[in-house]
Amino acid sequence: MSTQNFKEFWKLGKAEFDTQFFDISKDGELLVKEGNYQYNLHELAKKYETSLEMAFPFIIEHRVETLINTFNFYIKKYKYRGKFYFHYPMKVNQNREFILPLITEGANLETASANELWIVKRLWEQHKFNSRIKVICNGPKTDEYLSLIKELRGQGLDIVPIIENHHEYESLKNYKGEVGIRVDLNFRTKSHWDHSVDRFGFTPDELFDLGKMRNLKILHYHVGSHIPHANDIIKALKEGLSIYKKLKKINPQLDTIDIGGGFNVNFEKKKMYSVQGVVQRIVSYLAKHTGDDGIAPPHIICEWGSHIMAPSQVTIFKVLYEKNINKGAAARKWYVIDGSFMNDLIDTWAIKQKWHVVPVNNLNSKKLERVWLCGSSCDSDDKYTGGSYVRLPKLEEGESQYVAFIDTGAYQDALGSQHCLLSAPANIVCQDGDIKIARAHETAEDVGKKFGW
Ligand SMILES: Cc1ncc(COP(=O)(O)O)c(C=O)c1O
């Protein structure tokens, strides 16, 4: 089989799967190509040791640029009179190496807590961004959070708190700046998350009961992450726009609709909706349904966080050994990795997230085996999702096998834990052909310190 065939087999080098930057060397090693630079992931895994996260800021830049350009393209095409703003939800990945490239490409920010806003404060005070950057603040408005919002507004930052409940409504009654409000739409999309109780936002009726609101600028909703169908994004928009129109009649200064996050990630490398297709539908829907009825086309904010971040990182583990279990339900061949699903890719355990798993070396091996993967914590739940198998090369005597999990850039770091006091993966940043260590391997002492030792 040729390298091209192996690329097809492992679904690498394809834009529709977000693997267009991946390639295979003639020796069967996994490569990432940044223009004319290339990173050999096998070499890097051996050099920096596993478990290892590799971040690729150029992928973040590429995705933000594509998103903004696509919106602007359709805004022009449909002669839409509103503007587009991408607000990056910081909860998705707060690491410095991920946030700075976003800002370079013109992303605005969305915070979920006082601590995230503290990062914004640091950037603002270090003059890292220009005064046109916009920040919107979701999440529970504690006293600390509110006072930081007011402080930054006082310093000239364009900052808009989003009111999510009656308590916040009261606390922000005398706030002098612009505010947004969050609605809990009646529309529900299918996702991993429990939607039986949505604690966030006002119901549409509660919202209308509030009457006229001082300085209301943004109507915001977020229907969930990993929205499975493009139609669901449009159905939510339809309901959101109808609420927007009613609110706008009572609050003429309202001028922005924030459609939240939720654009799906192609974790499993199957057919999925595209940015071009969905953005075209959003802009054309808004263009068609505003204007004529006297409602000016709203500015559009989206907070598609995982879409931007997930493909910008891969996590690499080494297979420590194989273990054949011959009895009971676990009777199969297990590869034990030198990290932990429960700690390092916690969504595997929490929401049964699947990832695209590919070998880092021996990619051109024809000796593939069906194996089940488990982590090195003591927990029997520390295994690759749903107990499903993956195909990986047969282990060769005297040679280490490494495996890569693709699309791990969203949420996993902040949600990560330290079960069995295993060390978190080291993190290297691959940019312009150079490698920078963002987080070194943790020693026993480093981990012990976190627990007061
Ligand atoms: C308000 C809000 N915006 C944006 C996001 C990001 O969602 P996603 O990463 O699915 O795009 C979330 C995720 O929970 C959210 O709660």
Please check whether residue 149 lies inside any domain of the structure: yes
Cα(231)–Cα(234) distance, integer angstroms: 5
Ligand 1: atom nearest CA of 309 is 9
Q: Which of 337, 440, 413, 349 is nearest to 386 (CA)?
A: 349
3-state DSSP call for residue 344?
helix
**Whether residues 330 and 428 fall in one domain:** yes
Ligand 1: atom nearest CA of 306 is 9
Decide which of 247, 273, 303 is a domain's last residue. Answer: 303
**Whether residues 88 and 33 fall in one domain:** no
pLDDT for 213 beyond 90: yes
Q: How many CA atoms lie within 13 A of 125 on its CB side?
A: 10
CATH label of the domain that carries residue 324 = 2.40.37.10
335-365: pLDDT as tens digits: 999 999 999 999 998 888 999 999 999 999 9
**Whether residues 89 and 51 fall in one domain:** no
- Give the position of tokens 């065939």: 5
CATH label of the domain that carries residue 250 = 3.20.20.10
The CB of 303 under 6 Å from ligand 1? The reply is yes
- Place 82 in a pLDDT band, splitting at 50, 70 and 90: very high
Report the pLDDT value the prediction gives residue 191, as an integer from 0 to 100.
72
Ligand 1: atom nearest CA of 410 is 9
- Both tokens of residue 3? 């390298």
Using CA atoms of 217, 218, 219, 223 in order, give the dihedral in degrees to the nearest 10: -170
Query: Atom 5 in ligand 1: which residue has the minimum CA distance?
Result: 261
Ligand 1: atom nearest CA of 226 is 10
Query: Atom 15 in ligand 1: which residue has the minimum CA distance?
Result: 261
The CB of 92 under 6 Å from ligand 1? The reply is yes
Ligand 1: atom nearest CA of 220 is 1
265-298: pLDDT as tens digits: 999 999 999 999 999 999 999 999 998 888 999 9
Q: Which of 369, 345, 320 is nearest to 419 (CA)?
A: 345
Angle at 7 between CA 19 and CA 371, to 5 degrees: 95
Cα(430)–Cα(379) distance, integer angstroms: 33
Mean pLDDT for all residues in the chain: 94
Using the mean position of ligand 1's atoms as its centre, give its distance from the Cα of residue 92 in Å. 8
Backbone angles phi, psi at 88, to 5 degrees: -80, 120
Query: Atom 4 in ligand 1: which residue has the minimum CA distance?
Result: 261
Q: Which residue type occupies 72?
A: N
3-state DSSP call for residue 34?
strand
Residues 185-190 have a mean pLDDT of: 87
- Both tokens of residue 363? 């990619």
Range with the lowest mean pLDDT among 1-5, 77-81, 413-417?
Answer: 1-5
Cα(343)–Cα(419) distance, integer angstroms: 6
Decide which of 235, 270, 303 is a domain's last residue. Answer: 303
Domain count, the chain: 2
Q: How many CA atoms lie within 13 A of 388 on its CB side?
A: 13
Domain encompassing residue 291: 80-303
Please check whether residue 121 lies inside any domain of the structure: yes
- Ligand 1 pocket test, candidate residues 64, 227, 303, most atoms within 8 A of CB: 303
**Whether residues 88 and 233 fall in one domain:** yes
Please check whether residue 73 lies inside any domain of the structure: no
**Whether residues 265 and 217 fall in one domain:** yes
Please check whether residue 70 lies inside any domain of the structure: no
